[in-house]
Amino acid sequence: MRRRLLIDQRGPLRRCAMLSDGILTDLAIDHVERPAWLGAVVLGRVTRVVAGLDAAFVEFGDTTPGFLAAADVRPGRRDARIGQLLRTGQMIMAQVKADAHDGKGAVLTMDLSLPGRFLVYTPLGDGIHISKRLGKGPEVQALRQRLSATLPNQGGWIVRAEALSAGPALVLGEAEALLADGYRAQRAAGGTSPATLLPPSDAIRRALVELPRDGLEEIVVEGPEMLAAVKSTATALAPDLLPLIVTHKAPRPLFDQGDADSAIAALTNRRVDLGQGGSLVIDRTEALTVIDVNGGERGNPLATNLDACMEIARQLRLRNVGGIIVVDFVNMARAGVREAVIQRLSSAVADDPVATHVYGMSRLGLVEVTRARRGPPLADLLL
């Protein structure tokens, strides 16, 4: 698969679009006038402890206090109640794990995680943990042994799938950078609150760290300011990607290539046509997102549902859908074919950088999916 990453800024939108064989497959977009907090490490002050919710509200710099559940105060203390862990007025260091949405404040955690391309550093964690995506083969065991001997013996480390094909020097360099970020946050935590100790992850960082790199041929950037920002981020986080960065020089706007602009605009439509017939209808409500699979004139429900799985996974990523998703597949009578659809959908969402879980299918053809909330939905950014 041949991939190209396009990066530009149009008005208030800073956009990073991945084209895989000419198809838009991934997006990272920021609205510079409405910055997100996701991933930021903050110094906050507890304003209320609510025993009935087993949670606290924390002033951290956003207009609405953040929500901190007792389970997110300290790892390993799942049995402790919020009143045993925090008091009103207490200063705490926390991380934003979900942005504010639908009138609700951001969700916070004190169990920090600092992500890189190859590793995730958890200051309160312990040991080395291998991503489940890597499996348990001999190559993975060799990787674990090598990292056990080289990674700093401080906190915990989650080894991501990208580490398997990365050079040892790249992985160790990233570990040292993540460790330095942790130290920087700890030193800054002695100041006054509210304060941002580590900034949120912006679109450029998310694109260089989280989006797939296999088959990536070039990173095309439009505009001198964006070029400087991309090179600066790559130098700090992904120096091996620097040779792929080129300046867009064609007379037409960058996002005219591959009709990226049209593809992004289409993501606000309810209806999505499937390549082999049929369609998806996507409706977002306050409580959940509903996706209806329509077979159209095609007479094979299984084939329609299998085709729909890949497009559903793509739409969830591109639209940044979070929370509960209910998919209404075309009804199928036999349990065996229903299981085939579940397996296809599970495989389709496996590469999503955002945690996504697929549950079983009901007799009515309904499948429940959960996807972690990561910033505002795309439709809100495009308003």
DSSP 353-364: SS-EEEEEEPTT
55 and 140 together in one domain: no
Which of 42-51, 204-213, 314-323 is predicted least confidently?
A: 204-213
pLDDT > 70: percent of the chain: 98
pTM: 0.87
290 and 349 together in one domain: yes
Residues sharing a CB contact under 8 Å with residue 194, sequence separation 6 or more, in sequence order:
42, 43, 44, 45, 59, 60, 61
User: First vs last Cα of the chain: how many Å apart?
Assistant: 33
Evaluate whether residue 238 is within a structural domain: no
Mean pLDDT, rounded, for 145-157: 90
67 band by pLDDT with thresholds 50, 70 and 90: very high
The tokens for 76 are: 């390993």
CB 65 within 8 A of CB 75: no
The tokens for 131 are: 């991503």
Q: What is the pLDDT of residue 251?
A: 83
Q: Which residues are registered as beta bridge partners of 290? A: 283, 326
CB 18 within 8 A of CB 255: no
**DSSP 3-state of 322:** coil
pLDDT digits (tens, 9 = 90+) for 101-117: 877 899 999 999 999 98
45 and 87 together in one domain: yes
Residues sharing a CB contact under 8 Å with residue 233, sequence separation 6 or more, in sequence order:
204, 205, 208
Q: What is the pLDDT of residue 192?
A: 85
Last residue of a domain, one of 191, 222, 253: 191
Containing domain of residue 71, as a range?
41-111
Evaluate whether residue 131 is within a structural domain: yes
Evaluate whether residue 253 is within a structural domain: no
Mean pLDDT, rounded, for 17-43: 92
Evaluate whether residue 273 is within a structural domain: yes
The tokens for 232 are: 């600066």
CB 94 within 8 A of CB 42: yes
Calpha distance 74→52 (Å, rounded): 19
* Overall number of domains in the chain: 3
351 band by pLDDT with thresholds 50, 70 and 90: confident
137 and 182 together in one domain: yes
The tokens for 121 are: 């550093």
CB 95 within 8 A of CB 109: yes
Last residue of a domain, one of 159, 191, 223: 191
Please work out, in degrees rounded to the nearest 5, the angle formed at the alpha carbon of residue 68 by the alpha carbons of 378 and 32: 30
382 band by pLDDT with thresholds 50, 70 and 90: confident
